[in-house]
Amino acid sequence: MFLDLLPWKISSAMDIARGFSSPKNLVLIRAPAGSGKTSVAIAYLIYRAMLGDRGAIFLRTKREVEHALGIAKKILERLNVELLIVPTPSKEDFCVMGFSRDLIKYWCPISECERLARRKYSDIEKFLRKNIFGSLSSYVKLFASDRRCPYYVALSLLKKANIIIGTHSYFVKSDLFEKLGRLDIVVVDEAHALLIPKTYEGEIESIKEGEEIAKIALEQGTTISRYVVALGRNMDYESAKKLAEYDAYMGADGIDVLLGNKLIKIYVPKDLIRDRLSSVRRIILMSSTLYPSSFFRLIFTNNSLDHELVVIPGLMGGNRKIIVLDTNLSLAYSMRTEETYRAYATLIQKIYMKHKTKILVFCPSREVARSIAKHLNVKPTDRLGEEIVVTVFRGRIAEGIDAPGYRIAIMAGLPFPRIDMMTRKIIETYSNVYDVDRKALEEAFIISSTISALIQAMGRVGRGEEGTIYIVDKRAKKLLGSLMS
């Protein structure tokens, strides 16, 4: 029934809705990118809110939060209901005072900001029960009216909201999650990003120095928060920062992972999901890249939490045609020769001449991009505008910016990741925590990361006008076979 709220048609809506209608308390949904998952989720949360449930959807970026707000706005324009929908704030984006210093923990009381004294927000709540904005800047402007603090107004409204639209950090970090109040339903979009949920990252030396300062606070019978504020107001910002750093580390959930002189905390996904389920009735995790399925079942459920996995076949939704070329070309490390680069450039030129329109070319590394671009007589770039744009997977263009005017995208090679020291260490940690072979875990991680980066780049075309995507690598059919069917 909640699909009736959508003011537009989604071809796979019924399939996606199966996941939301599941009787299970934990549901994993894998559906093609651009198939309408977010729209279905917003419609579902609005429908449940009208029945009295409080819900939240968490997304990867602020840009995606604004997209979700826009969807909610369009749906509510057709309904005669009053719902309070509030986005989660960040101090950096919601502070309008223009402080030049880092906004460390407890910075607001340190600064003695004049806006903290103005906490009344009933007029804002009344307005937002009948209105919704499509941009975070509009919320900041409203919350800042009458010399109020936008950040604290937003926090005050979160516990009253019928629906919360926020970033992953409010799901992952317990101190932020607690600010949302009791929730009935939680949806996590782009859930593959929870593969490595970091709750803290800092320098070991700063933590140790902060610990020593904390001992002084304890000896004086002062709480850490009060001592940070006192240090800051006495202009000892370095000590205040180190103590706040130590406090942030101690308050973060997860297990410690040492990386040279750095320390990060990882909230192991199975523990994160289990802990959130202790206070939330239903959790729905959805993504186009929950692949390999067995890998994400293990990561999120440890094969012990009762759940359902819903898989909608396909790689990409929307207005896109995907062509996996039958070719002997590959940009595997062993085949990266000048002859290969020249062959790729020749093929790219043929595709360009066939379509006679602007094209995007994504390469697995900057070195490969430079080599192919040289044979095309262009320069690799992170900016749009040229007829042939040669860029990289996981770069600025691939990570979600709009590319108007570009209808053709060429995946020149596959974006297999290089396993850096941090990832290797986390895989080793997961191997012990989940009691799984390290090599098998690493292979699954590589496949998942590759699919994720590939889909991200492919999503740059076909967002409005019809798009065509060419995948050029002889390894592609084997890698994508089950996903394409």
Query: What confidence tens digit (pLDDT) does each residue in 352-362 have?
Result: 999 999 999 99
Does 98 lie in the same domain as 37? yes
Instruction: Give every CB contact of residue 436 below 8 A, 6+ residues apart in sequence.
Output: 298, 430
Residue after which a domain boundary falls, among 311, 330, 345: 311
Residue ranges of the chain with per-residue pLDDT less than 50: none
Q: Which helix (H) or strand (E) holds 465?
A: none
Given 279, 311, 343, which residue is the final one in a domain?
A: 311
256 and 272 together in one domain: no
Report phi then psi at 230, rounded to 5: -65, -45
Angle CA 239–243–247, to nearest 5: 170
Which CB contacts under 8 angstroms, 24+ apart, belong to 289-293? 289/30, 289/33, 289/192, 289/448, 289/451, 289/452, 289/455, 290/28, 290/29, 290/30, 290/191, 290/192, 291/30, 291/447, 291/448, 291/451, 291/483, 292/444, 292/447, 292/448, 293/30
Residue type, 471: I
Domain extent for 451? 320-484
CATH code assigned at 20: 3.40.50.300
This prediction has a pTM of 0.91
Where among 266, 281, 298 does a domain terminate?
Answer: 266
Residue 165's SS3 state is strand
Residues 50, 14 share a domain:
yes
Inter-residue contact 318 to 462 (CB < 8 Å) = yes
Contact call for residues 419 and 461 (beta carbons, < 8 A): no
Which pLDDT score is estimated for 101?
Answer: 59
Q: What is the pLDDT of residue 12?
A: 86
Cα 1 from chain centre: 29
Specify whether 427 is located in the same domain as 452.
yes
Q: How many domains does the chain have?
A: 3
Measured in residues, the chain has a length of: 485
Q: Let me know whether 290 and 388 are in one domain.
A: no
Residues 245 and 286 in one domain: no
280, amino acid identity = V
Same domain, residue pair 209 and 139? no
Q: Are residues 304 and 406 in the same domain?
A: no
Same domain, 142 and 206: no
Question: Under a CB-based contact definition with an 8 Å cutoff, are residues 224 and 243 in contact?
Answer: yes
Tokens 């999120």 label which residue?
300
Strands 320-324 and 308-311: unpaired
Do 160 and 246 reside in the same domain of the chain?
A: no
Same domain, 164 and 296: yes
Q: Indicate if 124 and 179 belong to the same structural domain.
A: yes
pLDDT one-digit tens code per residue, 216-270: 999 999 999 999 999 988 989 899 999 999 999 999 999 999 999 999 999 999 9
- DSSP string computed for 328-386: S----GGG--HHHHHHHHHHHHHHHHHH-S-EEEEESSHHHHHHHHHHTT----SS--S
Report which of 449, 58, 483 is spatially closest to residue 311, judged by C-alpha positions: 483
CA 297 – CA 302 distance, rounded (Å): 7
pLDDT at residue 320 in the model? 87
